[in-house]
């Protein structure tokens, strides 16, 4: 056998092996209409019109544009195989431009021509809000609180609670289903901690659940209305009217704090990673504690009803409290506070802080954002409903309020 014949047979053999490995597939045309890329907070959502039987691959890189013919030359490019629309790409850096493209293949064949690349810049959530109509997927009851956590089936879920025992759950914060087996009691707040969801409300009501379907009432050892609940991971603290502070290490057994120097209604409570608990309430009352049991009054310098408090730990520790009339108080140590009034003025109800920013919601659909608690920017919320609950999870903010109103920002 000649060397040329041997080479031809070897080439044919290699080709047959390649066809078997690839399933004898072929390339596919790019998605009709290309791709749409919507930026979010540290992520983007890529959508396209898929065709049955086609496998799609997604490519992206930190660049103004990419071409799949020479992608190997682009530094830090990423290839993701067998994606479906819509596809969320997370772990991106806000403020950096990324370019995205998609191509298709059939039965493991070679990739076809790619879509034109689309470049976007991920940015902090909280500036672009979309409204969900009142009385829609979240019913018509006033919703007072919202939380995010892990259900007993290990799925991550949002839960919203409100008047008359209204409880809704959902996977994405936009699509919801109502839970029916809930005591008919007004619920004011909810959170996930101690491996369960804990909701608190009128008449000292505390109910818990691990699956968000079956809720169990537990004794709070008080008949005062409970308005807020927080935790440091090992201790849960609920606060309410007439200076009520209740604590629990398991969510089932609750006891009154040993020393609370006020009879004022308490509306908000939070825990800082610095080891400080803070509670705020009517007439500018402010309390701090190092153990959740013994509380000390602190002068807030305000007489406004304070509704929420949060702590932002970034380049420096920043304590922030908000309340009626647009009042915002800030402190670097949790002891000495300075105040301002936001415009347009609104009753500020719920505050969420993370490393990059603070977001607050309130009456009339008010939404404000701030990088440091000192300078605030009003945002267009696309609702006029009063907002009482706010959560930051999965790269988005979700707020709930009057008449089942809900807005979200990615």
Sheet holding 196-201, edge to edge: 187-193, 196-201, 206-209, 216-218
| Dist. CA 255–CA 218, nearest whole Å | 12
Counting other chains too, the contacts that 377-386 makes at CB distance below 8 Å and 24 or more residues apart are: 378/342, 378/343, 378/344, 379/126, 379/127, 379/129, 379/409, 380/129, 381/129, 381/131, 381/407, 382/129, 382/130, 382/131, 382/407, 383/129, 383/131, 383/407, 385/134, 386/347, 386/349, 386/362
| Dist. CA 409–CA 58, nearest whole Å | 25
User: What is the pLDDT at residue 206?
Assistant: 97
User: What is the pLDDT at residue 12?
Assistant: 40
Radius of gyration of the chain (CA): 26
User: What is the pLDDT at residue 8?
Assistant: 38
pTM summary value: 0.85
Residues in the chain predicted with pLDDT less than 70, given as ranges, are 1-24, 133-136, 315
For 154, residues 6+ apart whose C-beta sits below 8 A from its C-beta are none
On whether the CB atoms of residues 201 and 226 are closer than 8 A, the answer is: yes
How far lies 326's CA from each of 146, 182, 241, 348, 370, in Å?
22, 34, 22, 6, 14
Instruction: Write down how long the chain is.
Output: 410
Structural element, H or E, at residue 18: helix 3-22
Task: Output the furthest CA–CA distance in the chain (Å, rounded).
Answer: 102
Task: Give 243-265 as a DSSP string.
Answer: G-EEEESSSS--EE-SB----S-
Backbone φ, ψ for residue 11 (5° rounding) = -65, -40
| Dist. CA 240–CA 200, nearest whole Å | 9
On whether the CB atoms of residues 157 and 168 are closer than 8 A, the answer is: no
User: What is the pLDDT at residue 20?
Assistant: 39
User: What is the pLDDT at residue 245?
Assistant: 98
252-289 confidence digits (pLDDT tens): 999 999 999 999 999 999 999 889 999 999 999 999 99
User: What is the pLDDT at residue 234?
Assistant: 98
Domains and CATH numbers, the chain: 22-120 (2.60.40.10), 129-409 (2.130.10.10)
| Dist. CA 138–CA 298, nearest whole Å | 39
Residue 15: how many CB atoms within 10 A of its CB? Answer: 10
Cα 368-395-192 angle, rounded to 5 deg: 90
| Dist. CA 109–CA 112, nearest whole Å | 9
354-363 confidence digits (pLDDT tens): 988 999 999 9
On whether the CB atoms of residues 274 and 311 are closer than 8 A, the answer is: yes
């Amino acid at each position: 056998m000649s060397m040329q014949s041997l080479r031809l047979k070897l080439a044919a053999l290699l080709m047959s092996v390649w066809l078997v490995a690839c399933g004898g597939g072929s390339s596919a045309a790019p998605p009709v209409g290309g791709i749409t890329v919507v930026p979010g907070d540290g992520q983007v959502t890529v959508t396209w019109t898929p065709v049955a039987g086609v496998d799609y691959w997604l490519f992206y890189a930190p660049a103004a544009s990419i071409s799949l013919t020479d992608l190997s030359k682009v530094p830090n490019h990423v290839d993701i195989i067998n994606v479906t629309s819509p596809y969320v790409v997370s772990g991106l850096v806000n403020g950096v431009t990324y370019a995205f493209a998609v191509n298709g293949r059939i039965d493991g064949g070679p990739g076809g021509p790619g879509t034109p690349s689309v470049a976007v810049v991920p940015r902090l959530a909280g500036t672009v809000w979309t409204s969900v109509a009142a009385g829609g997927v979240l019913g018509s009851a006033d919703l007072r609180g919202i939380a995010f956590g892990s259900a007993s089936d290990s799925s991550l879920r949002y839960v919203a609670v409100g008047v008359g025992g209204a409880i809704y759950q959902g996977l994405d914060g936009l699509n919801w289903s109502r839970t029916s087996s809930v005591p008919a009691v007004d619920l004011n707040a909810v959170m996930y901690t101690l491996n369960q969801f804990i909701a608190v409300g009128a008449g000292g009501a505390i109910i818990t659940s691990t699956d968000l379907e079956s809720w169990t009432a537990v004794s709070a050892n008080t008949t005062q209305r409970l308005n807020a609940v927080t935790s440091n991971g090992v201790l849960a603290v609920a606060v309410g009217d007439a200076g009520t502070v209740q604590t629990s290490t398991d969510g089932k057994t609750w006891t009154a704090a040993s020393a609370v120097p006020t009879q004022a209604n308490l509306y908000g409570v939070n825990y800082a990673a610095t080891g400080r608990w803070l509670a705020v309430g009517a007439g500018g009352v402010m309390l701090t504690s190092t153990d959740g049991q013994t509380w000390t009054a602190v002068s807030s310098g305000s007489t406004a009803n304070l509704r929420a408090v949060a702590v932002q730990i970034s380049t420096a520790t920043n304590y922030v409290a908000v309340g009626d009339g647009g009042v915002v108080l800030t402190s670097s140590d949790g002891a000495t506070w300075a105040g301002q009034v936001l415009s347009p003025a609104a009753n500020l109800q719920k505050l969420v802080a993370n490393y990059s920013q603070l977001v607050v919601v309130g009456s009339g659909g008010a939404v404000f954002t701030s990088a440091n608690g000192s300078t605030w920017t009003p945002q267009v919320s696309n609702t006029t409903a009063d907002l009482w609950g706010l959560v930051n999870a999965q790269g988005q903010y979700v707020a709930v309020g009057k008449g089942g109103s809900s807005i979200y920002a990615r």
